[in-house]
Each structure stands twice: as C-alpha cells, then as structure tokens.
Structure 1
Amino acid sequence: MNQFVNRLRGILAILVAAGHAGAICTALPTSPDHFQAALTPLLMFSGFNYVIGFVVISGYCIARSTLNRPFDLSQYLKLRATRIYPALIVCALLAGLVEASLLGSANRIAVWSGGIDAKSFAASLLGLGGFMGVFGSYAPTYTVSFELLYYFIWGLAFATLPPRLVVIACVISLLLLFGVMPRLFHFALAIFAVWLIGAAIAMRQDAIVRLVNACPLWATWLSSVLLFIWGNSAVVVAGVDIWRFPGSLVTVPCGALFGFVLAAHLAKNGPRLALDEWLGEISYPLFLSHGPVLVAAGSAMKAINVHTNYGVAFCLLMTISLASAQVIVVLIERPVMRLRRARLKPAIS
C-alpha cells in the first residue's frame, strides 16, 4: 500500500483527537494563550472534517483489498469483522469503565454526556451506536456503524457483479435506499457517497492517477486547503446543519478534496517516512479510544482542580491519548493482526 495512505490516516486520527482535546480544554478552567490562538484555525471546523478524510481512505482501502484475487464473501466478512471488532469492543469496555466510574460525579466533564445507559452501551459493543444511540464518551466512534453498513453493501455487490459495475451499482443502491430507508439512515447514506469516492479511486486507480499526475503536489495541497477553508466558512455563514440531510450532502465536496489529495499522492509515490508505519498502526486505536480517554483525563484534571493555560492542558491531554492508543496497539492490534495473517488467507489489507 502507498505509504501516504498510512501517513494520512494517522494524521487525520491525530487531528480528530486534537479537535476533541480542544473541546475538553474549553470545559476546564484553562487560561487562553498564544498556543490556543495558533491552534484555533486548524480546529475551527471541528474534527468532523477530518473524519470525512478517514471515510474516503476507508473506501479506498476496502476496495483495494477486494481486488486482484478471487472474491469470497464469507472470507471478506471474516476479514472485516476481525479487523473492526477486537479494538472496538476493548475501547467500548474502556468507555463503559470510564462512565461507570464517573456516574453521578460532579467532576465529569460536560462533553459527550448523553446516552449513558445499558441500551447505548450494548449498541456500542455491537458497533451499532451510530444507528441505535451513542454511548457517552464513546460518541466519536459513531461513524464505525456506518462503515459496517458500507462494508456489507460493498461485499454483496462485489459477490454478485463484475468488478467494473460495483461502484455504479453501489451508487444506484445509495439513491434507492434514500427512498426506502427511514430518515435515521439518511445521514449515513450521505456519508456513503463520500466512502464511494475512495472506493472509486481504488477501482479506477490507473486512470485517475494518469489524470492527476500532471498536477504538482504543491498545487494540489494549495488548492485543496484554500477550497477547504472557503467551503467550511461558507457552510458556517449559511448556517447549514451538516448533521441532517440534505445539509449532510456538503460532506461530498469535502470528501472529493480528500480524494483529490489521495489520488495526487498515489500518482507521485513520494519517499517513505520513518513514522508512516506507526501512523497507520495507531490511527484506528486512537480514533476509538480518544473519547473515553479524554473524558477520563479531563475529569481527573477537574477533580484535582488543575489550573493551567490552554497549551499545557492540550498537550497533556494529547499525550495521554496517544500513549493510551499505543497501549492498545501493543496489547490488542498487533496480536490480532498477527493472528489474522496466520489464520485468514490470502494476505489481508
């Protein structure tokens, strides 16, 4: 896999966690400082934009994993389940432990404080929180539920159709599902369009790479960043509610920008960085664990009445989040990946 894929998804996970760490800092008795002023432009549109980048990469990686070998639906579903659920269940249990220890406490940070009940916890363990209700500090993981739906639709399409028709069939299915599914699913279906951008890049990679190859990387990044800032500003000014359809359709051009950046790097295939493998490895554990870890750390800081400036609190929260994610990498992710490679053939993505 192109090293930029690992690099981008790791950076996006860190940016998502950073956006939420910033929100925790504002709920603590911190003093504004120059660090906060410098960080605000990066986080001003919230971590949701960076989740969109995650979704694009997910579509790309899943589609690539289904190419170049005979497709077996049962094997595909095993691969997806063993990739998603071990860390998801562990981090859901972590969230349950955090919420149980803080239940009724005045020191619990007032962030992601809804849905702290048995039903939402059970839904989180099953990976269904995005549809059945998010559980407290595990709320940032709601898009995992959406991705499980996308994996299932993609697998069915790939099992029944020629590869060249799969993306088209998924687009048609997306449009049909809008007409028959309850409104509860409309937001997830809008994000499916973003996922399909990544999948389309994987399925037509050679043609897309040739198309973007003439564009220098500096021009790709400059144009994408400017459009990203302008588009988000326009959404804020217009008062678009991105959490409800049809407002959530504004995520599609955002996803297209991430797709453009991804395709440009696939075309250039630049140098491998020492951190690339680690960034790819830590991305999923950090995405899953940062919510409960931030709430636990922030609540502990509130309980012991820590007074500091924003920059110190932010760096402390991010350090704890990254360290916790690394523990999950070592204790859960690496052993699971070794087991998958040994038990599930052919080679997995």
Structure 2
Amino acid sequence: MNSAHVDSFARQEERLHVLDGMRGWGAIFVLFFHVFCEGLPVTAESGAYLRRLLPFSGLYAVLVFFVVSGISLSYGYFRERNVEKLIAAAGSRYFRLAIPIFVVAVAVHLAMIAGLHSLSKERIAPFSNALSFQSTIENVLRFSFFDVFFNYNPGLTYAGPMWTMSVELIGSFLLFAVLLLSCRSAYYLAIISAVSFILMFSVTQVFKFYSLFLFGAMIAGLIHRGYAKDISPWLFAGMLAIGISAPAYLPPAYDAWNMLATVALTLGCIGIKPVNSFLSCQFSKLLGIISFPLYLVHGPILVLIGEPLVHNFGGTAQSKFAIDVGICVISVLVALPMIPVNRLAIQISRFFGRQAVYSYNRVRIQLAPSQN
C-alpha cells in the first residue's frame, strides 16, 4: 500500500480539514456558476459551455455540500460513539444556520428600504423578480427563522436560491435519527448504506438529497473504521476522474447518477493525497471559513450591484467579463466581515447544543428509577 496514501487518512484523526477546503471551493464554484453561467453570463454560449466544467457547476457544488455535511456531522460521533454528540449537534444545528441568514436578511432589508435596488421592471433577466416584494421587519424574521426552512418561496427570498437550507436542516436531523437507531448494531455501516441507496433511488426528489447526508456518514464510517486505507489509490483516482468529468457528460439534473458522481468526487478528493493536501492547506481552510457567508451574500450582491452594472455598462463581452470578475471579488470581500457573525453563530449554537445535552441528561436521570 502507498504510504503517502495511508498517511492522508492517518493524519486526520481529530478533524478532517479537507472538508473545510471542499466547503470553501464549493462556495467559490457556486459563485462562479451564478455569475458566469446563470446570472450574468458574458454570452449565452459561454454560460452554456462553462456550466459543463466542474468549477462552474453549481449543481455539483450544492450536492458536495450535502455530502460534506453528512461527513462532518457524523465523524465526531463515530470517533467517540457518544449519544451526547448527536444531541448536541441536533440542538445546535438550527441556530447555526438561522443566525447568519438573519444577519444577511437584515442587511438586504436595509438596502431595500433605502432604495438601493432598481425597479423590477427595469432589470434584465433573470433578476426581474428578485427582491421585488415589500420588505418589513416581520418578513425578515419570518423568512430567517421559519420560511427559509419550512415554507420557502423563491419569490420572497432575501438571499438568492436558499432552497438548500431546508434540505440542510431536515437532512441533518434525518442523519441524526439514522445514526441513533443504528449505532448499537455491529452492522451500522451496512444499515446506513442500505438506507442511503433506498433514499437515492426513491421517486421523491427531496429524499434523493437526504441520501447524500447518509452517504457522507458512510464515508465518515469508512474512514473511522480504517477501511478507506485499504482502498487502492488507483480506485480513488478513478473516482476523482469520474467526479471531475461528470458535469461534462451527464445531463445537469439532481438525479441519482449525478449524486453518485458527487459521492465519487468526494471520496477521490479525500483519498488522493495531493488533492487532500491542497484542500487542507491554509488558503483552502480560509475559503472554508467564509464559505457559508459567501454562499449567503453573493445572491444579493448579484441583484444589488451586478445587475445594475451589466444593465448600464455591459454593452460588450469585455465589459461583461470585467463586471463578472468584479462581482466575484466584491462577493468575497463582503463575505469577510461576516466571519465574526459566523463565529458568533457557532458559539450561540454550541450553547443551545449544551442545553440540549443538559435537558437530555436530566430526562434520562429522571426516568432511570422507573427502569430498575
């Protein structure tokens, strides 16, 4: 066995830093997709061509987010097999997502009431309906803490395409439930794998998304049990090649084949040492830190800044390209001040996680006498 290949797993006992890089570059890929392909393409032909390349495939980036969430939420539990880990993660998950969303929604609300966005009838497609509703504090609160998770309406969003937040929240809780129910079995990886495939090949689209969280847990279990070290580097290289090339030859759809290619891509990134090392480097980890803020802010930046610039100054391909590059830079710069907000959200969510563990232990102690 290649010792460097084995080392790519052995060094990551405490934390899988490669996941930070995958989140970070995934957020960059989503940004590239929305700017250069879907929102403000230089030409229709360039947008159609670029979306077939992995760095411009928003579809694959979103699917990778779900797999990575499954890995990160289950890896710590597999290491300690402590139910309190699951309770804490479940107690913190909602607040971890909702607080940054709320801050971005407030900022966009202030921009809207200040009149910083153009009238919807004057905008170019596909921004004609973006931020075209009447914004109020009540709308901000309802969107941030309820609608974005449980009643999402793309016509009433403050932060671009946020349908993924419902999948993130519910998929996380489905993962916690499966881990809790299977943890006592010696065949827990087989159980998780079976549920993953059942969901992936179900007729309901949202179940297919949920399956990726369980595939992530399966990857985490393979790494924790040491099975990943026994996989040939050539097999990992093949999976990486499949994942990189899949956007070029598979129709862009949230179907089982694209999802399996995403799982292969994730395994390849983890298993190939040079790729793993790149995704674990300081720059990639920095991108991981700003990944969620960047995911949230780039949509409003496109509407409030990108669309007016292209509308007024994007008469040529060269000017459109320059504007697109500028929007990418601005989005990253705007995401940077969100880092303290993101860290505050982590601290607050951990507080609620500890409270959930405390409540769980109180209930367990109170019920203990009745079990004697």
Q: Normalising to structure 2: TM-score of the pair?
A: 0.71
Shift in Å, 1:253: 1.7
1:278 pairs with 2:278 = no
Q: Distance in 2 between matches of 1:345 and 1:266?
A: 36
Matches within 5 A, 1:192-203: 192-203=210-221
Amino acid at match of 2:346: M
Identity of aligned residues (%): 20
Choose which of 235, 257, 263 in structure 2 pairs with 1:256: 263
Shift in Å, 1:177: 11
Shift in Å, 1:264: 0.3
Would you say the 8 A contact 2:124–2:311 is kept in 1?
A: no
Choose which of 225, 228, 232 in structure 1 pairs with 2:247: 232
Matches within 5 A, 1:154-169: 154-162=175-183, 164=185, 168=191
1:335 pairs with 2:344 = yes
Paired residue secondary structure (1:140): coil
1:133 pairs with 2:140 = no
Equivalent in the alignment of 1:301: 309
Q: Distance in 2 between matches of 1:141 and 1:265?
A: 32
Shift in Å, 1:170: 8.0
1:190 pairs with 2:221 = no
Shift in Å, 1:70: 2.4
Q: Which piece of structure 1 moves more, 316-325 or 39-48?
A: 39-48
Would you say the 8 A contact 2:152–2:163 is kept in 1?
A: no
Deviations 1:58-111 (A, max 9, x none): 110011133315223543322212321111222234455566643743443422
Deviations 1:236-270 (A, max 9, x none): 3xxx7x25xxxx22332222222322440589964
Q: Distance in 1 between matches of 2:159 and 2:118?
A: 15
Deviations 1:278-320 (A, max 9, x none): 1221111111221112221113314643545343122101001
Would you say the 8 A contact 2:159–2:296 is kept in 1?
A: yes
Paired residue secondary structure (1:126): helix
Deviations 1:102-136 (A, max 9, x none): 37434434225558557997455426458643235
Paired residue secondary structure (1:110): coil
Alignment size in residue pairs: 324
Q: Which structure ranks higher in relative contact order (CA pairs < 8 Å, sequence separation ≥ 6)?
A: 1
List gaps (5 residues or longer) in structure 2.
1-14, 356-372
1:311 pairs with 2:311 = no
1:59 pairs with 2:70 = yes
Equivalent in the alignment of 2:27: 13
User: Cα gap change, 1:273/1:230 in structure 2, threshold over 3 Å: closer, same or farther?
Assistant: closer
Amino acid at match of 2:159: Y
Shift in Å, 1:139: 3.9
Would you say the 8 A contact 2:30–2:62 is kept in 1?
A: yes
Would you say the 8 A contact 1:99–1:137 is kept in 2?
A: no
Query: Bigger radius of gyration, 1 or 2?
Result: 2
List gaps (5 residues or longer) in structure 1.
none
Shift in Å, 1:20: 0.5
Shift in Å, 1:50: 1.4
Please tell me the root mean square deviation across aligned C-alpha atoms, in Å: 4.0
User: Cα gap change, 1:232/1:36 in structure 2, threshold over 3 Å: closer, same or farther?
Assistant: closer
Q: Distance in 2 between matches of 1:174 and 1:6?
A: 26
User: Cα gap change, 1:275/1:263 in structure 2, threshold over 3 Å: closer, same or farther?
Assistant: closer
Amino acid at match of 1:337: I
Shift in Å, 1:173: 8.5
Q: Normalising to structure 1: TM-score of the pair?
A: 0.75
